[in-house]
Amino acid sequence: MKNQITHSFFLLFVMILSGSTFAESNSIYSLKVKNFDGSVRELAQYRGKVTLIVNTASQCGFTPQLKSLQTLQEEYGSQGFQILAFPSNDFKQDAGDSQKFASDNYKVTFPLMEKGPVTGNQIQPVFAFLTKSYPAIPQSVLWNFEKFLVDKNGIVRARYRSLTDPTEKSVRKEIEKLLAEKTP
């Protein structure tokens, strides 16, 4: 109970800092993140797009999923789909320049954000939001390459653990369903 109250105050604090309203707090669009170069990216720019947010690592057994993520970006990008990758060293499997690694080895064209924590007390606000916003799996990130599928309105609609390859039929089906939905 104490952790829930602390987390609620944390989210309220993040909302106040970002200037969001209560209505926006149900959407990821109230948040800002840092790009790999340290510049700020407002997630509101993805309003109207289907977004897959993934925590990545360069030295993990799941790192080849970067190729699958790039495949999805190429196949669905022109239809309003965007992948956002968040490198993290929480599990001691990301060292060095994640952006260069992903670009050189997997030819990724989707944006990589600044490396940061996806678990623990220093968790990035975006991952605090994501892990609390999908009630079917109300836990912190367990490993690298967990994926959160966000609809055009900024609501988390699906969450996939590391073992689920992003190009699996079930993931594609959900992406296609969300792309076909009309926005209010």
Which sequence positions are flagged as catalytic?
Answer: 60
H and E: helices and strands count for the chain: 5, 6
Residue closest to 170 by CA, chosen among 152, 147, 153, 154: 147
Sorted by sequence, the CB contacts under 8 Å of residue 68 that are 6+ apart come out as 165, 166, 167
Q: Specify the length of the chain in residues.
A: 184
Could you tell me whether strands 156-160 and 147-150 are parallel, antiparallel, or unpaired per DSSP bridges? antiparallel
134 close to 36: Cβ distance less than 8 angstroms = no
Specify the DSSP element, H or E, that contains 169.
helix 169-180
CA distances from 179 to 66, 113, 174 (A): 21, 24, 9
Could you tell me whether strands 50-56 and 32-34 are parallel, antiparallel, or unpaired per DSSP bridges? unpaired
Token pair recorded at residue 89: 């060293």
167 close to 181: Cβ distance less than 8 angstroms = no
